[in-house]
A and B are shown apart, each in its own frame.
Chain A
Amino acid sequence: MEYRELAKLIPKMEREPFAERLTDILLESGSGAVPPHLAKIILHYWQRDQLGSQAGLTHLIEAMASAEPERLAQVLDEFKLHDLAGAFSPIWDKQF
């Protein structure tokens, strides 16, 4: 499943807080964790207040999958997005 399809599964009500949570984690992530091309796309959407949009979330999730896969799993759990977590099972078999 592509990240865009995964972003679609996040309920609209949850999108803004979910994006906020992912952003906080990415801002704490270590040097080089977020690929530069994704960092620039995240800034593009942040400048336009669209990180909570489907497109914004697509890139946030992709950045998280690259930089902080374990913590993404935790956040999905926090937000009770178990179906979405399941879609990531190839990555996080250990967590789920």
Chain B
Amino acid sequence: MKTLIFADDGEIAGQICSYLKTGTENYVATLPGEESKCGKTGAKQIFVLNGKPDSSNVSIALKELKDRESIDYVFIGSTAFGRDVAGKLSGLGNMKPLSEITSIAFKDGIAVTTRFLYGGKSVLTEESNSNLFVTAPGISEIVQDKPGSPVQQLNLNDPAVKIVGEEKKSAGGVDLEKAKVIVSIGRGLGKPDGIPMVEQLAKAVKGEIAGSRPVCLDYHWLSEDRQVGLSGKKVKPKLYIAVGISGQIQHIAGMRGAKTVIAINKDKTAPIFEECDYGLIGDLYQIVPKLVASLLA
């Protein structure tokens, strides 16, 4: 069984390669500079796609690789770019895609997969003859214990769209997936001026600060890599303190793996209280300083 794995993030390509280690011959394609992140995960070959990548030229390159190497299954890491590529490749190669899988096992040529549905409210188990799997980040730890894979450089066609300019997004340099304690803030904070107060709490519990989607993407109070949820990081700390977060299902999908959840919210009916171990009903601006004082006492 031959697989082709593509992710624009080498770490995610490496996770998939590590996950699929048994019984498959894995070919990896990624973008320049990413190949070292997955270099020792047991890929038969790593292809580095040089040029100006867009979803069009990358999907064409993957289609060519798939045909040339007689690939049975394609796996694409679910990033914004990955999903675009997966859609383009599905249309181009008339493939059978399955999105956002969180696990996969093959039984007699049938794929048994799981994925979230209804924004994370449920987990769907399915059987299919799909041949393109968009794979949720973090499907496995990355295991770099194999000899280095041979690397081959490939050139991409010109992009279909004009790439006029690019800016890097600011990154906080945190590894939320590995954090043991997380203090997470939501829109209930009301203003960025509340952040120093939350930082004191984070310090008192030796935790990292994270946030809901609006806090990270709409208001940019925190950098985007601190977003927890369905479209953000999936975290599994021992302790998760949700401050002014309502607990919409797409947020819960990111923190379900936490061991103990504490919620602070002024609305008794907030859904976060259905997903917490301990809940404090009240104004976070009253509660957080008192909590910090008690922790330090």
**A in complex with B:** no
Q: Which residues of A are in contact with B by a Cβ distance under 8 Å?
A: none
Q: Which residues of B are in contact with A by a Cβ distance under 8 Å?
A: none
